[in-house]
A and B are shown apart, each in its own frame.
Chain A
Amino acid sequence: MAIYSLYILSKSGGLIYQYDHTSIKVEVEKTFSYPLDIQLTEQNKRIVVAYGQKDGINVGHNLLAVNGTQLNGTSLEDGQEVMAFLANESNYPVSLKFGRPKLSTNEKIFLASMFYPLYAIASQLSPELKSSGIEVLEADTFKLHCFQTLTGIKFLIVAEPKQMNVEHLLRRVYELYADFALKNPFYSLEMPIRCEQFESNLQLLLEQQEKSGVNTV
Chain B
Amino acid sequence: MTIHNLYMFDRHGVLMYYGEWNRKRQSGMTIEEEAKLMYGMLYSIRNFVNKMSPVDVREGFQCYRTSKYVLNYFETPSGVKFVMNTDLHSQGVRELLQQINSQIYIEYCVKNPAYRSGETIQCELFKTKLDELVKQSPIFKG
Interface set of A (CB-CB < 8 Å, partner B): 4-5, 22-24, 26, 58, 60-61, 100, 103, 107, 111, 114-115, 117-118, 121-142, 144, 158
Contacts and interface: CB of A to CB of B under 8 A. Distances in A.
B48 A114 contact: yes
Contacts of A100: 55-56
6 contacts: A122-B41, A127-B24, A134-B64, A134-B66, A138-B63, A139-B62
Nearest to B83: A125
Given A115-B48, A128-B68, A140 B62 contact: yes
Contacts of A114: 44, 47-48
Q: Is the interface of B mostly helix, strand, loop or mixed?
A: mixed
Contacts of A125: 27, 34, 37-38, 41
Interface string B51-95: 111111111111111111101000000000000010100000000
B56 A135 contact: no
Contacts of A137: 45, 49, 61, 63-64
Chain B, interface residues (CB within 8 Å), range: 35 or more
A121 B65 contact: no
Q: Is the interface of A mostly helix, strand, loop or mixed?
A: loop
Given A118-B41, A127-B5, A58 B56 contact: yes
Contacts of A26: 55-56
B69 A138 contact: no
8 residue pairs, one from A and one from B, having the closest CB atoms? A127-B4, A131-B68, A128-B68, A132-B67, A137-B64, A127-B23, A138-B62, A121-B41
Contacts of A118: 41, 44-45, 48
Interface of B: 4-5, 22-25, 27, 34, 37-38, 40-41, 44-45, 47-69, 71, 85, 87
Contacts of B71: 122
B87 to A, nearest CB: 8
A125 B82 CA distance: 16
B64 A128 contact: no
Contacts of A122: 41, 64, 66, 71
